[in-house]
Structure formats: structure tokens, C-alpha cells
Chain A
Amino acid sequence: MTSRTISVGALARVEGEGGLEITVRDGVVTSAALTIFEPPRFFEALMRGRAFTEAPDIAARICGICPVAYQMSAVHAIEDALGVAVTGPLRDLRRLLYCGEWIESHMLHVHMLHMPDFLGYAGGVEMARDHCDIVRRGLAIKKVGNEIMTLIGGREIHPINVRVGGFYRAPRKSELRALGERLERALEQALEVVRFVAGFDFPDCARDYVFVSLRHPGEYPFNEGRIVSSRGLDIPAREFEANFEEFHVQRSTALHARMRHGDDPYLVGPLARYALNFERLSPLAQEAAREAGIGSICANPYRSIIVRAVETVYALDEALRIVARYEEPEAPHIAIEPRAGVGFAATEAPRGMLYHRYRLEADGSIAEAVITPPTSQNQGLIEEDLKSLVGAFLHLPEDDLRHRCEQTVRNHDPCISCSTHFLRLDIDRG
């Protein structure tokens, strides 16, 4: 029997610290393990005893790449516990803020983290030396996402303007309207990005994924919706823990997640959202996807770069609609009274569904917090991807093979800071 171990010591161009170990026996990949050594920060423990009003600020610090997602899941879950709901222009502003984060995060991943794999560079800055216009265009779109977050949130990382019940200050109509022209320019550029990335050379593969995402009756999902799967699951957020469980493996400081009924790992994130919500994309985004040749379901993880570009088109398109119809709310937030209760929420972070549950005491202090980030849900599936996809690359020289393994992981834009960093790769060929 011949065997081989492939290892990546520290995975680059992912957010956080982790490694990867792959075992090959007689030309077949027999195991693939992500080792996440991001030091634990114990958010669920340190939230206890804090006031519910502090939750959005504390939860944001779980991840500097997607703080809005943590803020949104936190405020929705706490509002659920308090029996209130935010509607009208305030709801629109939350959706607009989320558009900003998707644009910023997707353009960061597409250009700085993922694209160098396709064009053969160590990173986006190195790539910029030869492809300056491409990188500049990506950064220009990303900047518009950041501008939305700065206007609505106060700043792009750890926004300060989000609170339970709405915002501290609502923007003026004129401030929002000033975004319009830049959004339109960015939308044109994002359509160019979809066409550009659609022309990359993709490994030919299709995986039989179990997709999981939110679905909303009338919108592509950001803040609200039921949790659905490609296998027929359809539940409200409050039933998440009855249908999904987290478990702890020794090699990782991030918990893994699985469905309680069925052994297959499931996928959250852009591919899942897209497959389960294609018809809710705007006509422009659907048209861009069709032109890029990806159909209404995309099961080739390497092509996720196209789906992120399409979602960016959607987010810009949606941002323009929200800006056009915005009327200033009467107050920047609704009235909130503390009470005892339990609240649940799932929202769509750029990397996938993010679940929060809070139990509040009568004085509004947090008695218990449970947070399930997208990357811990995707860990099992990333390992499955490596097992089924890396076999095709075993003939490659060691460095190229290691690079393919890293790319296969980066397909899912893992955020290890959230999931509690990435990659060491060990390939054991015996």
C-alpha cells in the first residue's frame, strides 16, 4: 500500500488561523481534517450578565469581516424575546446596511482572497502588479459597500449606530440620495466583474450538496425568512436547535455542526442561498447569472466566485431600490421595554446563515447566549469537498497540490475568526 500525507501549515487568505491534513492511501483520499487553532474568545460566556442593549456591540467583535451580520442576528433575536418587530424605513435601513456588508465582504473575497488562485498569484497585492485595473475596479466596488456601512453604521468595522429597536440616528434623505450615483457606477462595474470571472478556467466538477439557507416570501434573504434546505426542511429560526446540533472535535477550537436527522454535512453561504432563492434575485441579477452560464443552481464550488459576483450585483441593485424609496422614519428606533423571555433569529451573513438565541432576565440582562456561525456549519462540508475533489489533483507536484487544497477550502470563504484561522495542510501519503 502506498500512502501519502499532504499538510498545509497555516492557511493563507482566509480570515483566522487554521491548518489542513489530508491522508492518501493507494491513490485515494481517505481523510481530510481541518484543524482550527484560532484561540477561543468565549463570547457566549462573556455575554452573560450584560444588558441586552450591549449585545449588538459585543457580538460585532466576534468578526471584523462581517460585524453587521452579528449585529443583525443579535438585534432580531433580542427583539423576538421582547416581542417587538422593526418595520418600514427602519427595516429598509437594516437591509441597506446588510447590502453594504455583502458588497464589501464579497468584493474582498472575490478580488483579494479567491481570484489570485485563478490567475496564479500569492495574493491580491502581488496580482495588482500585473492586473492593476482589475484590482482597482474590485476595490472601487468594495469601497461603495464600505460607504454604505459608514453612512448607516458610522464606520465600516464594528458599526456604532445599530441598536435593539432600530438605530441611534436615522440618515437624512439627502444623505442617502448622495449614494445613488456611486451605487449606479458600482453596479455597472459589478456586471463587468461577473463577466470577467465567468471566463476563468474552472475545474469541472459538481457536488451533490445539501443546501441550507433562509427563504423569504418576497425577497432575496438578508434579515428574515424561514430556514429551508434542498431536502425539504422548512422551519422557523426557533426550531434551529431541534434540527441542527453543534459538536466538538479535538482538532478544532471551532464547533462543528450537523443536522440531527441525516448524516450528510450541509452547506450554507452564497451557493446555498442562490440555489434556494434564484427566483427572488432581481431580473438584472438573474440576467447576469444566465449570461455567466451558471443556471439557477450552481454545484461547482470553484464557481462560487461567480455567485458572489452575482450576489454583489443584487446587493447594489437592491441598495439602489432602497435608496430611491427611502422616507425618513418618525423616530430612529421604536420603544423598547425589558422583559424576561427567549428570542431566536437567523440572518444571512456573507458566508452563510448565522443563528443566535438569547435568554433574557426580567431586567433585560442576558442569562444565556447561543451563537452558531456559518463557518462552523461549513467545516464538515469543506472536509467532504477535499475528500471528493482533491483526488483529481494527486498527480500534481507537491506545491501545486497543496495550492489546490487551499483553493478548495477558500471556495467557501471560511471565516475562522468567527468560527472561533486557518491553514496548516498535512497530506499523509503514508
Chain B
Amino acid sequence: MSGQGHRTPSAPRLAVWKFASCDGCQLSLLDCEDELLAVAQALDIAYFPEATRAPIRGNYDLSLVEGSITTPHDAERIQDVRRRSRALVTIGACATSGGVQALRNFANVCEYASIVYARPDYIHTLATSTPISDHVKVDFELRGCPIDKGQLIEVISAFLAGRKPATPSHSVCLQCKLKGNVCVMVAHGTPCLGPVTHAGCGALCPSYDRGCYGCFGPMETPNAPSLSARLSSLGMDERALQRVYRTFNAQAEAFREESERHDE
């Protein structure tokens, strides 16, 4: 009744793991409608509980890890995942920088629990939400809230070919210029995090007449204080400036430091 299908023993074994998250990044794999069956032929999808009942067994060649570490149990579980994985790739903002749930890192988690739960004493949680790299060695980090599915296919293909993934580390701003968009900040005075945000989304928000809100996290060596000065001249107050860096990648170092500069 619950056949496990026929696996090619030689295909690399893929596992998809979930920690604290919304499931969106692993859904990106199921959203690759045109590529999913090809990926399934090239790889043995050996552990992917959202998609299959096949149980954990043995070791995996590639582990995709979604979600952040927020409980004592998960802090132990990620050690086991690392031991079972030849390569470990984090997918998305939660696994790479702690996610939106890392807003607790700037607050009191007991107070948070008392707001949501009638019986906070039933809840076992850590005071912080932390990225996977705080706990184990990570071989590659794919950014985004959510990840871009084209980039996911690139990372899986690169792994199969034994090469480094071709995912640019420049800013959304550069991607936006390459796309030929009119600058929303220069032309319309719309606050935009594009100059400090990691590329990967295809400069989506500016393409929809909206400022970038930083869901791919900071680029390499961003100049956030300079951008903040510009945002301030566009009328953002200190509180708004702090909030703009404290969303889906609040715990990422460059965004955390900049948000703390605007503590009231």
C-alpha cells in the first residue's frame, strides 16, 4: 500500500529538512513544475516529509535545510542532520539569518509567549531564533524570503556537477539597473533597500513600482549608514529606519548593526 517507488541506487541522495519556518522555501522545489520530475530523475529524493512518507535512513549526499533554530530539540536535531549530510545547503532567510521569528531576539520571548498562548508554560522555546551556521558548518547559503526557484535549480545543478553555484552576490540595485527599471528612489522618492540588499529576486519590487524591502538580506559589504542618511532625507524617522532593517533578515549582521544604530 505504501510502496517506496523504485530508486536508482547510484543517484545522489537528497534530503529536505524543516526547522522553524513557513514551508515556503521547500515548497519552491514543488513549485518547479517544469523541472521537478527531471530533478527527481537526476536525484534520489530520499527524505522530504512534505512530499513523501519515505523515512529517514542512513546518510544523504545533499541536504537542503529550511528554517531557523528556536528550540532545544532543534538545536540537537541540526547536529544529527549535519552528521548525515555530505553537503549541507541552507535555503531561505530563516535558515540563513534567523527569519522573521528572529524579531524575538530584540524582545523578551516570555512576554511574546504570554501574548500568543494562554498557557506559556506549555511552550518550550529558546530566547533567540538563530541561523543554521550558528550551530553547524554550512556549505552554501541560498538567500531569500522566499528563495528564487531558478536559483534553487542552479544550486542543485551545481551540486550535481560538482561546481560552485553561479548566484551573484551584488546588490538588487545593480540587478535593477541591468533590467532597465526607472529608479523608484530617484524618480519617485520611494524608500528602497535595493542599494544594500543581496541580489537574487530579479529586482522584483521596483519592477512593481515599490521600494525593495530587503527580503534577500544584506549584500556583501553594504554601506547601510549611507543609505539610512538618504532614507532619512526622504522623511523616514528613526523608528521607521529601525523597522526597515528589522523584518525578515533582522539577525543578519549588517542589518542588525544598522537597526541598532537607530535604537530610540
Binding site for B on A (CB under 8 A): 10-17, 37-46, 48, 50-51, 54, 57-58, 61-65, 67, 104, 108, 112-113, 116, 120-129, 132, 135-136, 139-140, 142-143, 146, 154-158, 160-161, 168-169, 247-250, 253, 255, 332, 399-400, 403, 406, 415, 417, 421
Contacts and interface: CB of A to CB of B under 8 A. Distances in A.
B208 A123 contact: no
Interface in B87-115: 99-101, 103-104, 107, 109, 111-113, 115
A421 B2 contact: no
Interface in B190-233: 201, 204-205, 207-210, 213, 215
Contact of A142 (B2, B33, B248): B33
Which of B45, B103, B208: most chain A Cβ within 10 A? B208
Contacts of B9: none
Interface residues of B, number: 70
B48 interface: yes
B117 A168 contact: no
A157 B247 contact: no
Contacts of A129: 5-6
Contact of B23 (A46, A139, A155, A417): A417
Nearest to B27: A64
Nearest to A37: B73
Contact of B52 (A12, A160, A255): A12
A37 B248 CA distance: 23
Contacts of B109: 42
Interface in B51-89: 51-54, 70-71, 73-74
12 contacts: A41-B99, A63-B22, A121-B3, A122-B2, A124-B51, A127-B5, A139-B33, A140-B33, A157-B25, A168-B209, A255-B118, A417-B23
Contacts of B118: 247-248, 255
B21 interface: yes
B216 to A, nearest CB: 12
B260 to A, nearest CB: 16
A14 B50 contact: yes
B104 A50 contact: no
Contact of A65 (B4, B23, B207): B23
Contact of B54 (A15, A108, A122): A122
Nearest to B210: A168
B248 A169 contact: no
A64 B25 contact: yes
Interface of B: 1-6, 18-28, 30-31, 33-34, 36-37, 40, 45, 48-54, 70-71, 73-74, 99-101, 103-104, 107, 109, 111-113, 115-119, 122-123, 125, 129, 145-146, 201, 204-205, 207-210, 213, 215, 240, 243, 247-248
* Ranked 3 nearest A-B pairs via Cβ: A64-B24, A123-B52, A126-B5
Contacts of A125: 5, 36-37, 40, 45, 48, 51-52
Given A61-B145, A128-B37, A39 B20 contact: yes
Given A39-B125, A42-B104, A12 B111 contact: no
Given A121-B3, A400-B1, A13 B51 contact: yes
Contacts of B33: 139-140, 142-143, 146
A65 B1 contact: no
A70 to B, nearest CB: 10
Contacts, number: 215
Nearest to B126: A39
Contacts of A46: 100-101, 103-104, 107, 112
Contacts of A136: 37
Contacts of B145: 61, 158
A160 B204 contact: yes
A187 to B, nearest CB: 17
Contacts of A139: 33, 36-37
A131 B78 CA distance: 35
A45 B112 contact: yes
A175 to B, nearest CB: 12
A41 B2 contact: no
Given A161-B210, A248-B119, 18 more contacts: A15-B23, A38-B20, A39-B20, A46-B104, A46-B112, A61-B99, A64-B25, A67-B22, A123-B5, A123-B52, A124-B52, A155-B204, A160-B204, A249-B122, A399-B1, A400-B2, A403-B1, A417-B21
